[in-house]
Amino acid sequence: MARFWIAAPTDLLESLWISPLGAATKELVRALNHQTFFSAEQVALRNQLNERLQQGLDQPLAPQLMLANWLFSPPGLLRIANAQATLPAWLLPAYLELYEQVQPPAPAPQLSFTPTPSLPQPDFGVFTASLHELVGNRIQLNRLLGLSNLYYIDPDDQEILQELRELRLELALAIERCPEHDLERFWASDLGDRYWSLVRSGVQKEALTPEEEALKQRVSQRLTPSQGGGFGLPGAINAFLVAMTFFQPGTMQVEAAAEKLPAWLLPHYQQIFAESLAASR
């Protein structure tokens, strides 16, 4: 359930919370007490969530991180300073109910566990070959967002990493094939939000496979004047969008970016790449 909330799309978060999923989450939290046993994996995830939340409750994923953290925080053992001002209005009542109302200690639940067969893997279908198809595919868009969020929180999960890398490669190839004049329109949709979640996830730090390295070198060449590329040439913006999914923030700089990058792309480049570069100096 914690992983579900981490991966939940921001634009659907409130509606998910007021659904039976939110009610089930509150029941799980109510069942916790100071004697509840958490596995080493759960403790590690809780520590990662706390570390992220210490960066502030105004960060983009804060509500997702908070909901996941609640599942490891028994009532009475968590406090949020100035909750009325920092929590979304739809989340505040649940916080007050779970953590600020005086409650008698819940008895330790008597649980028994029986082995269950492996759950079937969900079939998400084939990742769309074009951005035109991807823009209207909520399943794949939310899959991309969910994997990016999960990797951001737990980069050591190899299954998440492998699936995210596969989607990154498919997305990069779709970006390469897209007519450049359509990019602005697509990046103004939910696709843009999902793309920037991928870029911010930090997956660029992972060692590249030969196929990924070849793609990275190909788009780098298309952006390098000494190799026949450069901004202003057809396909340069496509190549730059692909490059940002493979270069770590702070390792790639565009000289005179305000002159070379379109207005719809410049602010995100400056926020993610230029500021990271300045901070690393």
Above 70 in pLDDT, residue 257?
Answer: yes
Does one domain contain both 151 and 93?
no
pLDDT number for residue 115: 44
For residue 35, what pLDDT band results from cuts at 50, 70 and 90?
confident
Tokens 């007490």 locate to: 33
Above 50 in pLDDT, residue 105?
Answer: no
**Residue 83 located in a structural domain:** yes
**Residue 114 located in a structural domain:** no
Helix, strand or coil, per DSSP, at residue 100? helix
pLDDT number for residue 280: 47
Does one domain contain both 150 and 241?
yes
Above 50 in pLDDT, residue 117?
Answer: no
For residue 252, what pLDDT band results from cuts at 50, 70 and 90?
confident
**Residue 19 located in a structural domain:** no
Above 60 in pLDDT, residue 196?
Answer: yes
Does one domain contain both 153 and 248?
yes
The residue among 222 and 120 whose pLDDT is bigger is 222
pLDDT number for residue 111: 39
Does one domain contain both 213 and 90?
no
Does one domain contain both 77 and 200?
no
Closest CA to 90 of 69, 73, 66, 71: 66
Above 70 in pLDDT, residue 103?
Answer: no
**Residue 107 located in a structural domain:** no
**Residue 176 located in a structural domain:** yes
> Of 68-77, 106-115, 128-137, 267-276, which gets the smallest average pLDDT?
106-115
Does one domain contain both 171 and 262?
yes
Amino acid letter, residue 101: Q
pLDDT number for residue 224: 93
pLDDT tens-digit map of 47-78:
888 888 888 888 878 899 999 999 999 987 88
Does one domain contain both 270 and 160?
yes
Is this prediction's pTM over 0.75?
A: no
Torsion over CA of 132, 235, 146 and 267, rounded to 10 degrees?
-110
Does one domain contain both 260 and 143?
yes
- Cβ-in-10-Å burial (0-12, 13-18, 19+) of 264 comes to middle
Above 50 in pLDDT, residue 141?
Answer: yes
Does one domain contain both 188 and 260?
yes
**Residue 23 located in a structural domain:** no
pLDDT number for residue 266: 93
**Residue 28 located in a structural domain:** no
- Tell me what percent of the chain is helix, strand and coil, each rounded to the nearest 5: 60, 0, 40
CA 14/CA 4 separation, integer angstroms: 14
Above 80 in pLDDT, residue 275?
Answer: no
Per the prediction, the chain carries an average pLDDT of 85
pLDDT number for residue 164: 94
Tokens 């498919």 locate to: 170
CA 155/CA 221 separation, integer angstroms: 29
Does one domain contain both 140 and 259?
yes
Does one domain contain both 138 and 199?
yes
Average of per-residue pLDDT across 138-160: 88
For residue 124, what pLDDT band results from cuts at 50, 70 and 90?
low
Does one domain contain both 162 and 240?
yes
Tokens 């659904």 locate to: 19
Range of the domain at 146: 131-280
pLDDT number for residue 156: 87
In the chain, how many domains are there? 2
**Percentage, residues of the chain above pLDDT 90:** 43
**Residue 30 located in a structural domain:** no
Above 50 in pLDDT, residue 110?
Answer: no
For residue 126, what pLDDT band results from cuts at 50, 70 and 90?
low
